[in-house]
Amino acid sequence: MRTVWLLLVVAVATLTMGPLVILADLLGVPRRPGGIYDWAPRVWARAIVWASGVELRIHGAEALAGSGRRVVVANHVSWFDIPVMVLTVPRFAAVAKQELSRIWFFGRGAAKVGVVYIDRDNRKAAFEAYEAAAGAVREQRNVVVFPEGTRGHEYALRPFKKGPFVLAVAAQSDVVPVVIHGTLPLGRGKDWRVDPSHVQGVVDVHVLPAVSADGATYADRNAIASRVHARMAEFLHTHYAVPPRDAPTLSDDASHATPPSKAAPTLTTT
């Protein structure tokens, strides 16, 4: 019953906030901090967290306060991670898989508030998506990426895609690791069903110290990714007894590694 209720609230919130931001864009409402493109997704996310019945606890949010160039990377085990990150990260923007753009009203509405869709099967389009995300970083927005690529079935970190770290190097931004714990019962992997035993449960979000890509070059992307992966894996192990995987920290993902020319990216920064 909780799953039905939660999905109903998701649908109502999406069908309310989605058309609202689309209309605002059509009317030429300007983008400004705290404006409709910032508060509409937060209203959407608050409604979903409220309907879930869980308590959301955010630790270390001060690391995301104020302006700055940031790429925010988080572990990903549930669809519920999305509203959680919307409420955690101010001046929210994101890179998301192309499939989400096809969801009625959600896809177009999310694009209007700063979500950039990436086609993993199209190398040229993938690089262009990261070009657009770099623009959001230059606008002092916090760009959220789930570097594991897809939702997992357990908290142990899977290998990271390289794209988020190519973006951070190109934008000369900080990479802010975020560990989410408690969302697994709220739709494990691709399952939307909520575990009834987790109602009135707790979701904890931990914002960890940033890893700087300022002064880094394209050749440093793997080292930065490995540092971030190690920092998150160590936190999960220390605080939640999640054993690290015996697997590489990076995955081979050609569409995210280099632009179509196979040269190092030269995204414009200001």
Structural domains of the chain, ranges and CATH numbers in brackets: 54-257 (3.40.1130.10)
What is the spatial distance between Cα 264 and Cα 157, in angstroms, rounded to a whole number? 27
Question: Could you tell me which of 163, 148, 134, 158 has the C-alpha nearest to residue 256?
Answer: 163
The pLDDT assigned to 200 comes to 59
Count of CB atoms situated within 10 Å of the CB of 249: 18
Q: Is-contact 201 185, C-beta < 8 A?
A: yes
The pLDDT assigned to 199 comes to 56
E-assigned strand segments in the chain: 55-59, 70-74, 92-97, 115-118, 142-145, 174-181, 202-207, 211-212
The pLDDT assigned to 129 comes to 80
DSSP code per residue over 87-119: HHSSSEEEEEEGGGGGSTTHHHHHHHTTEEEE-
Q: Is-contact 230 179, C-beta < 8 A?
A: no
Could you list the pLDDT tens digit for every one of the 270 residues in the chain?
A: 778 888 899 999 999 999 999 999 999 999 888 899 999 999 999 999 999 989 999 999 999 988 788 999 999 999 999 999 999 999 888 888 777 777 877 888 888 888 888 877 777 777 778 777 877 887 778 999 999 988 888 999 999 998 899 989 988 899 999 999 999 888 776 666 776 665 558 999 999 999 999 999 999 999 999 999 999 999 999 999 999 887 667 775 544 444 433 334 444 433
| CA angle (173, 78, 258) in 5-degree steps | 40
pTM, rounded to two decimals: 0.86
The pLDDT assigned to 253 comes to 55
